[in-house]
């Protein structure tokens, strides 16, 4: 049976109460940090050899034992006990059980304060890249669908009301552009997070570990933190990571909301693959977009985690405080949530089937070609304010007669305004409408082709960043 051990008890006359340990002990999820703590311990071992606190032989023995501990944890043969207060206690206990007093030498020159900050930072830099790769799979699904539907006409909406015809590819790529910025935000966050807290110790720096720049480079950082108090007392990198994931959650929720609409019987734009939909326990006919619904719900967790972290930081004096332990709870929730949501969303988008005929039929519903009339008049010198009034009158004329703009005769046009003639009919098709919008960023197929090429180039750059990382990975 493992004896309860803490790393701070020698000053006290009695051991910690069960109530204190129950509150103080890390949640079981926190022990996922063990591989990152072990990586830092290997680097710290080399630092202690450089400082002369360990001989070369002692350093090699500790490194061998740490490597073996990591292998045993990965194999599931070594686990934390209920007596282990946190991951640092667990790993020191395991090391001392194997090496005796030699294992206790590793604690010199460092603190749980810089260890805790470092472990989570390494974890987030690793998992940020995993999130990016999962998001790129969704991006590829969107880009692939877009490539198949550059000429698929669809109604574009504002205020959830029919507005103008667009290519369905353009609608899909609007989401892809948002997600591309999410990955760029993660990359930008990582650049600021690439400073190592190791060597800060409790808050004042270490009198033993005097070459933190070497440990920093070994662990994939750009260098050590500039200020030891800031190194252990700041969690803005966690808050910023949580903002990135919260923004991603919001963008995922917006795509989810559109998928609800597109797959509804009222829209009938897409059909979800059976493998990515669910049914009802009482209504046999139902086919529900549950992945989208769960995604929308879990976005709330991501937004909530950011609020939790900012609130925890708000009133803290500037050094380490136990309040900062909330960083792990919020960060793990974000990583776990996206780890479940992103692959499911990617599969749903990749396998959905688009009803191109239904989209084409709806592309002109609600007088979506009205702007073409106003533009046609403006190109002929009619002030746009007047062109707008004429077009509004034309729409009323059609509504009164139960016809569409495409059904207007030459006599109908002249009855509304003498400046409207039959030549306008060539503009009153959805094909003409999207082809006319061929400026950079527009919905014309030629511009969509260029947009996909640029996006795929960005995807390659983002994938390169995510896959090639010098820090510890799990």
Phi/psi at 184 (5° precision)? -65, -35
3-state SS, one letter per residue, for 268-332: CCEECCHHHCECCCCCCCCCECHHHHHHHHHHHHHHHHHHHHHHHHCCCCCCCCHHHHHHHHHHH
The structure tokens listed for 301 are: 């967790």
- List the one residue out of 103, 107, 7, 104 whose CA is nearest residue 62: 103
| Cβ neighbour number for residue 363 with a 10 Å cutoff | 26
Query: What is the phi/psi pair of residue 156, to 5°?
Result: -90, 150
Q: Is 44 a residue of the active site? A: no
- The answer to whether the beta carbons of residues 47 and 216 sit under 8 Å apart is no
> What residues have CB less than 8 Å from 399, skipping those under 6 apart?
none
For 365: left if phi > 0, alpha if psi spans -120 to 50, otherwise beta; the answer is: beta
Nearest-angstrom CA–CA distance, 357 and 152: 9
Query: Is 111 labeled as catalytic in the residue annotation?
Result: no
Token pair 């070497």: residue? 214
Residue among 182, 183, 186, 206 nearest 196 (CA): 206
- Check if the beta carbon of residue 103 is closer than 8 Å to that of residue 45: no
Q: CA nearest 459: which of 172, 191, 183? A: 183
**Contact indicator for 244, 252 with CB cutoff of 8 Å:** no
Three-state SS for 191? helix
Q: Which of 14, 159, 281, 468 is catalytic?
A: 159
Q: Cβ distance 289 to 277 under 8 Å?
A: yes
Task: Out of 29, 264, 280, 457, pick the active-site residue.
Answer: 280
CA distance 413 to 48: 88
Would you name the residues annotated as active-site residues?
159, 280
């Amino acid at each position: 049976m493992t004896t309860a051990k803490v790393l701070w008890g020698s000053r006290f006359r009695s051991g910690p109460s069960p109530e204190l340990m129950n509150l103080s002990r890390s949640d079981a999820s926190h022990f996922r940090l063990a591989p990152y703590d072990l990586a830092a311990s290997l680097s710290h071992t080399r630092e202690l050899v450089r400082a002369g606190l360990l001989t070369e032989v002692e350093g090699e023995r500790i490194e061998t034992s740490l490597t073996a501990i990591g292998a045993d944890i990965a194999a599931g043969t070594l686990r934390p006990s209920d007596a282990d207060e946190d991951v640092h206690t667990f790993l020191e206990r395991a090391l001392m059980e194997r090496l005796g007093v030699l294992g206790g030498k590793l604690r010199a020159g460092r603190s749980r304060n810089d260890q805790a900050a470092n472990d989570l930072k390494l974890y987030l830099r690793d998992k940020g890249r995993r999130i990016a790769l999962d998001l790129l799979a969704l991006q590829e699904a969107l880009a692939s669908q877009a490539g198949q539907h550059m000429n698929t006409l669809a109604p574009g909406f504002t205020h959830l009301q029919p507005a103008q015809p667009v290519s369905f590819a353009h609608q899909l790529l609007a989401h892809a552009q948002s997600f591309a910025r999410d990955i760029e935000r993660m990359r930008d966050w990582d650049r600021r997070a690439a400073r190592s807290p190791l060597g800060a110790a409790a808050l004042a720096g270490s009198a033993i570990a005097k070459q933190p720049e070497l440990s920093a480079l070994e662990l994939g950082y750009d260098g050590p933190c500039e200020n030891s108090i800031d190194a252990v007392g700041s969690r803005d990198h966690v808050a910023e990571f949580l903002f990135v994931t919260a923004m991603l959650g919001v963008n995922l929720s917006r795509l989810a909301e559109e998928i609800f609409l597109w797959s509804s019987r009222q829209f009938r734009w897409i059909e979800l693959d059976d493998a990515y939909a669910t049914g009802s326990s009482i209504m046999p006919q139902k086919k529900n977009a549950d992945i989208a619904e769960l995604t929308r719900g879990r976005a709330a967790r991501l937004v909530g985690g950011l609020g939790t972290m900012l609130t925890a930081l708000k009133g803290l004096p500037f050094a380490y405080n136990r309040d900062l332990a909330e960083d792990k709870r919020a960060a793990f929730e974000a990583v776990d949530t996206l780890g479940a949501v992103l692959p499911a969303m990617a599969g749903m988008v990749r396998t959905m089937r688009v009803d191109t005929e239904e989209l084409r039929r709806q592309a002109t519903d609600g007088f979506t070609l009205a702007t073409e009339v106003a533009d046609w008049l403006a190109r002929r010198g009619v002030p746009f304010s007047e062109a707008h009034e004429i077009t509004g009158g034309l729409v009323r004329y059609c509504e009164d007669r139960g016809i569409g703009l495409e059904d207007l005769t030459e006599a109908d046009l002249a009855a509304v305004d003498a400046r409207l003639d039959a030549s306008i009919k060539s503009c009153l098709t959805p094909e003409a409408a999207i082809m006319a919008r061929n400026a950079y960023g527009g919905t014309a197929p030629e511009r969509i082709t260029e947009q996909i090429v640029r996006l795929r180039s960005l995807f390659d750059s983002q994938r390169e960043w995510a896959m090639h990382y010098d820090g510890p990975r799990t």
